Amino acid sequence: MWSYFKFEFKQFFTNKKNLAIYFLLAFATFFYVFKIAPTYNPIESVEYEEIEARYLTRQEFLDHMEGQDLNDVHPSVIYAIEIFKEVNPVDKKRLDALDEGDLKKYADVTRDWYYFTNSITYRNEAFSYNSKYFIKNNKYAEDDAFYAYLEQVVRYDTYSKADYELSLEIFEQRTALQTFERLLKGVLPIILIVCVLLLSIDIVKKDQRHRSILKGFPISDWKKLLVKMLVALLGSVGLFVPLIVGIFIIGLQSGFGNFNLPSPVYVAHLDWRVEGKFEMMILGTFLEQSLILLFTWFIVIINIVLLCSIIFRSEMVNFVVGLLLIFGENFYSSRYVGYFWDVQYYPTSYIQVGQIISKRRNFYYMNEHLDFTLGLQLLLGLAGVVIFLMILISLNRRYKLIK
Amino acid sequence: MLRALKVGLVIERANRKNLVVLVAVVIIVFGFMFYINAQAIGNQIVEKKGDYYSAQVILSKFQVKDALETGDGSDLYKNLVKQKSHIALQIAALTMDKQSMYYETSLQLAELRQEAFELEGYENVAELLPSKLQNSMDYLYFKRMIDEGKDTISDLFQYMPFLLFFFVHIGAGWYIFISFHTSSILLDDFEHASIIQGFPVRFDYYILSKCIIAFLSIVTSILLIFICAIPLWIINGLGNPLEPVGIYVGKATLISTSQYIAMSVGYMMVISIFVMLLSIILNVLLKNMYLTLFVHFILFFLPMIFPSLISLIPYNPFNFMNFNDILRGFPLDLAKPVDITMSLGLIMICISIILMLFVIKTFFTTGKISRA
């Protein structure tokens, strides 16, 4: 058994295709670290000029209206005066805090600012969210901004109570761990899962080239398959090596961050009074749960490939089946579809690992049932069924792994 | 020589890889069509709305003031407010289908932006606005359109505009495509080294016949691009082959669509030869397809990842592989601008080709071919 493991292990890591995948992933990581990460420009950034311009404009208006007779002006002027009187002192405090360099105080007042601004802006025609949300002709810009503002409230609330040192990098989510968090909510899970698919795609098929050597191993077929699964899993852990190097470089550039930073979770109740509530979760928990779910996906993909390999014996079929599973969500995913369909019962709905944990996916689908535990159960169940089928087939006496 | 070519052709005809390459070209061309459609590229109204919100974002950095000529706002602020109202006018003109008014407004907008470059504090707002070179190209384009009295807007789903869009965006992709295509140009034969060594042809003739065959399949791919787009011609018409395009050749100039396409095809062929010869050298030295690809990619992507390398070594032939960027004047927008143009690039690539031919002729012989 051990010698077979060593044999498979050596074959896996000397396979030119696999080395190419590791190499390309490393290359993509460096491209990201040096080229894309520095151009990251969040919409909700700490921008002194913007706050100042808004503050001065409104203050001038207030000064102008001071002491005037308001009896025959348009009601919206009175409305504006009321609102500006509330929000302007907050903007002033934000500016003062930035001037003093007191980031804790800035976090404290910024939380109030986001909360108040959101409450006057959402579904209100008189005010509008930051124009950057609308640049890409986004139909759902208002919803996205609503989500972002409330998330910022929770973030800044945690910062204001933080016992670690704050920095502008932390506020704008530029630190290494926060970059990893953003990537997990984006395209990274899909890239990694596709890499695992490509790594394991020929793990059974390659045996055809070494028939005589393999027949020398006195191990039953199902044990061989399990060893192959283990090797592929170890190989997929290897995918994290270039990523960790990349994260380390980003850490040197803009700070590492820490595991106690906030990573808010959307509370998906469909009750309109508590619509858009966020709860606090620390970054450590987010990363832990994301990695568990991601790793479960690795197991599922590897087992699906193994099952397909022993049934169809064609790399192309493995590839197509794997891609269908990975991109299956795209066939039904669209905004708010979860309100009408039970998307939570399809394992494919859980491919966007980071968005599942932070429940942004729930907001996107408008569905309250998608969550970590259900996803884990579904995926593990799927993996269990596939492993069971695989062993059942390979225990069949007429079946031979190597023909 | 001729015999080597004939035998090579017979072998290549059975090679399934060529078919895959041609299918890939077809898929890419049709993929572009779907992409344009899905992303609403070329839909002027959608793009101008994006511009409008960008202008709004820039203005959010300024306190609202009186933007009249006599007002108390800064010059830059007044300029930006005017830009925003011009963009609004553009959208209005497009919505009302008044093309000539659209061209006039766009020209005025380009003039406004031209003035803005000189104003104080411009570097704070530069991020969301077009670069100086881009703007002067726009200016030339709209000026030409007004001078010619045009009152139509080109539709990307016509034949010529589509081809133009395709060739403007193909740059980096072409190098990658060719390096995939040629990465194992000699390797299949290394598997049967004894046959090659027994083949009564000189090594340089053998290489030459290989090159000619690979070049033929590349030319076929380029032709296929033109053929695949023909359905657009049949459905939506030819489009205007003389529609001007702005490029940078030491200064901003306008050339016609057909000229641009012809130029691109020329560059693509020269680049293909360069890549092919490099593949041959790497194949002989490394004897591995993946390693060949890696070296290709590293050489190609290094100047893209670290643009300061372009300023440091402006004559590196790999700077010119992404020819669309050079034609767009991209090196001028670098932190340390360098003035390189595609004619210089052509010279550099040709010199490299001659050098590589010399290396192959002198140092490589049939004896080098042994099984990987």
Backbone angles phi and psi of A267, in degrees to 5: -100, 110
The pLDDT value recorded for residue A264 is: 92
Q: State the CB neighbour count (10 A cutoff) for residue B51.
A: 21
For residue A133, the one-letter residue type is: Y
Asked if B294's CB is within 8 angstroms of A31's CB, the reply is no
| ipTM reported for the complex, 2 dp | 0.74
The pLDDT value recorded for residue A272 is: 58
Residue A109 has pLDDT above 60, yes or no: yes
Confidence of residue B149 (pLDDT cuts 50, 70, 90): confident
Q: Residue A232: CA atoms inside 13 Å, Cβ hemisphere, count?
A: 28
**Beta-strand (E) ranges in A214-335?**
265-267, 277-279
- Closest partner CB to A35 (pick from B294, B297, B305): B305
Residue A136 has pLDDT above 80, yes or no: no
Asked if B62's CB is within 8 angstroms of A53's CB, the reply is yes
Token pair listed for B82: 């005017």
- How far is residue A119 from each of residues A87, A115, A276, A310, measured CA to CA in Å? 11, 6, 11, 58
**Chain A residues with CB inside 8 Å of B50's CB?**
135-137
Helices A188-200 and A176-184, axial angle in degrees (round to 10): 70
User: Would you say how long chain A is, in residues?
Assistant: 403
Task: Give the closest-approach CA distance of B100 to chain A in angstroms.
Answer: 25
The pLDDT value recorded for residue A212 is: 79
Asked if A136's CB is within 8 angstroms of B57's CB, the reply is no
Structural domain contains residue A268: no
Question: Same domain, yes or no, for A164 and A200?
Answer: no
Place of tokens 């010399």: B358
For residue B144, the one-letter residue type is: R
Structural domain contains residue A275: no
Place of tokens 């010698």: A3
Question: Same domain, yes or no, for A155 and A33?
Answer: no
Residue B47 has pLDDT above 50, yes or no: yes
Average pLDDT, chain A: 89
**A20-29, A131-140, A145-154, B211-220: the lowest-pLDDT one:** A131-140
Task: Determine contact: A23 vs chain B, CB below 8 A.
Answer: yes
Tell me what the mean pLDDT of segment B62-87 comes to: 86
Task: Determine contact: B63 vs chain A, CB below 8 A.
Answer: yes
- Closest residue in chain B to residue A134, using alpha carbons only: B53
The pLDDT value recorded for residue B371 is: 43
**How far is Cα A150 from Cα A279, in angstroms, rounded to an integer?**
10
Residue B367 has pLDDT above 70, yes or no: no
Burial class of residue A212 in the structure, from the number of CB atoms within 10 Å of its CB (0-12 exposed, 13-18 middle, 19+ buried): exposed
Task: Determine contact: A330 vs chain B, CB below 8 A.
Answer: no
Asked if B57's CB is within 8 angstroms of A132's CB, the reply is yes
Asked if B57's CB is within 8 angstroms of A130's CB, the reply is yes
Domain C-terminal end among A138, A172, A206: A172
**Chain A residues with CB inside 8 Å of B297's CB?**
27
Question: Same domain, yes or no, for A23 and A67?
Answer: no
* Maximum average pLDDT range among A99-103, A377-381, B318-322: A377-381
Q: Among A14, A88, A129, A137, which would you mutate to test the B interface (most chain B Cβ atoms within 10 Å of its Cβ)?
A: A137
Domain C-terminal end among A148, A172, A196: A172
Tell which residue, A159, A126, A374, has the closest CA to residue A261: A159
Residue A58 has pLDDT above 60, yes or no: yes
Q: Are A255 and A176 in contact (CB under 8 A)?
A: yes
Question: Same domain, yes or no, for A100 and A244?
Answer: no
Confidence of residue B252 (pLDDT cuts 50, 70, 90): confident
Average pLDDT, chain B: 85
Asked if A135's CB is within 8 angstroms of B50's CB, the reply is yes
Question: Same domain, yes or no, for A87 and A228?
Answer: no
Q: Among A91, A134, A136, which would you mutate to test the B interface (most chain B Cβ atoms within 10 Å of its Cβ)?
A: A134
Tell me what the mean pLDDT of segment A205-234 comes to: 86
Question: Same domain, yes or no, for A382 and A336?
Answer: yes
Task: Give the closest-approach CA distance of B63 to chain A in angstroms.
Answer: 4
**Model confidence, pTM:** 0.80
Q: Residues 50 to 79 of A: which have CB under 8 A from any B CB?
A: 50, 52-54, 56-57, 60
Task: Determine contact: B122 vs chain A, CB below 8 A.
Answer: no
Question: Same domain, yes or no, for A234 and A383?
Answer: yes
**How far is Cα A8 from Cα A2, in angstroms, rounded to an integer?**
10
Structural domain contains residue A272: no
The pLDDT value recorded for residue A273 is: 55
* Maximum average pLDDT range among A295-299, B9-13, B91-95, B288-292: A295-299
A137 against B83, higher pLDDT: B83
Task: Determine contact: B358 vs chain A, CB below 8 A.
Answer: no
The pLDDT value recorded for residue A270 is: 59
**Chain B residues with CB inside 8 Å of A38's CB?**
none
Residue A119 has pLDDT above 50, yes or no: yes
Structural domain contains residue A371: yes
Question: Same domain, yes or no, for A286 and A343?
Answer: yes
Asked if B301's CB is within 8 angstroms of A20's CB, the reply is no
Confidence of residue A374 (pLDDT cuts 50, 70, 90): very high
For residue A29, the one-letter residue type is: T
Coil/strand/helix, residue A278 = strand
- Closest partner CB to B50 (pick from A35, A130, A136): A136
Structural domain contains residue A383: yes
Tell me what the mean pLDDT of segment A324-344 comes to: 87
- Closest partner CB to A137 (pick from B49, B293, B305): B49
Residue B366 has pLDDT above 70, yes or no: no
The pLDDT value recorded for residue B219 is: 93
Structural domain contains residue A92: yes
Question: Same domain, yes or no, for A145 and A251?
Answer: no
- Closest partner CB to B46 (pick from A34, A56, A137): A137
Asked if A16's CB is within 8 angstroms of B290's CB, the reply is yes
Residue A98 has pLDDT above 60, yes or no: yes
**How far is Cα B37 from Cα A137, in angstroms, rounded to an integer?**
15
Tell which residue, B222, B219, B172, has the closest CA to residue B327: B172
Structural domain contains residue A403: no
**Chain A residues with CB inside 8 Å of B293's CB?**
20
C-alpha R_g of chain A: 27
Task: Determine contact: B288 vs chain A, CB below 8 A.
Answer: yes
- Closest residue in chain B to residue A36, using alpha carbons only: B305
A374 against A140, higher pLDDT: A374
Asked if A130's CB is within 8 angstroms of B60's CB, the reply is yes
Percent of chain B with pLDDT over 90: 23
Task: Determine contact: A16 vs chain B, CB below 8 A.
Answer: yes
What are the tens digits of pLDDT across the range A340-366?
888 899 999 999 999 999 999 988 888
Token pair listed for B83: 């830009």
Asked if B40's CB is within 8 angstroms of A16's CB, the reply is no
Task: Determine contact: A30 vs chain B, CB below 8 A.
Answer: yes
Structural domain contains residue A274: no
Measured between alpha carbons, how far apart are the two ends of chain A, in Å?
21
The pLDDT value recorded for residue B198 is: 66
Q: In terms of residue numbers, what domain contains A30?
A: 2-40+177-262+280-395
Asked if A16's CB is within 8 angstroms of B64's CB, the reply is no
- Closest residue in chain B to residue A24, using alpha carbons only: B294
The pLDDT value recorded for residue B192 is: 66
Asked if A136's CB is within 8 angstroms of B60's CB, the reply is no
Q: Residues 24 to 53 of B: which have CB under 8 A from any A CB?
A: 40, 46, 49-50, 53
Q: State the CB neighbour count (10 A cutoff) for residue A123.
A: 6
**Chain B residues with CB inside 8 Å of A30's CB?**
305
What are the tens digits of pLDDT across the range A235-255?
999 999 999 999 999 999 989
Tell me what the mean pLDDT of segment B40-68 comes to: 84
Tell which residue, A373, A325, A377, has the closest CA to residue A351: A325
What are the tens digits of pLDDT across the range B170-218?
878 899 889 888 888 877 777 666 666 666 667 777 788 888 888 998 9
The pLDDT value recorded for residue A1 is: 82
Confidence of residue B74 (pLDDT cuts 50, 70, 90): confident
Q: Which residues sit opposite B256 in a β-bridge?
A: B244
Considering its fold, how many domains does chain A have in total?
2
Long-range contacts of A185-188, Cβ-Cβ distance < 8 Å, separation of 24 or more: A185/A352, A185/A354, A185/A355, A185/A358, A185/A360, A186/A354, A188/A354
The pLDDT value recorded for residue A275 is: 64
Domain C-terminal end among A107, A140, A172: A172
- Closest partner CB to B305 (pick from A34, A56, A135): A34
Backbone angles phi and psi of A277, in degrees to 5: -105, 145
Tell me what the mean pLDDT of segment B144-170 comes to: 86
The pLDDT value recorded for residue B370 is: 47
Tell me what the mean pLDDT of segment B229-235 comes to: 90
A171 against B210, higher pLDDT: A171
Question: Same domain, yes or no, for A241 and A375?
Answer: yes
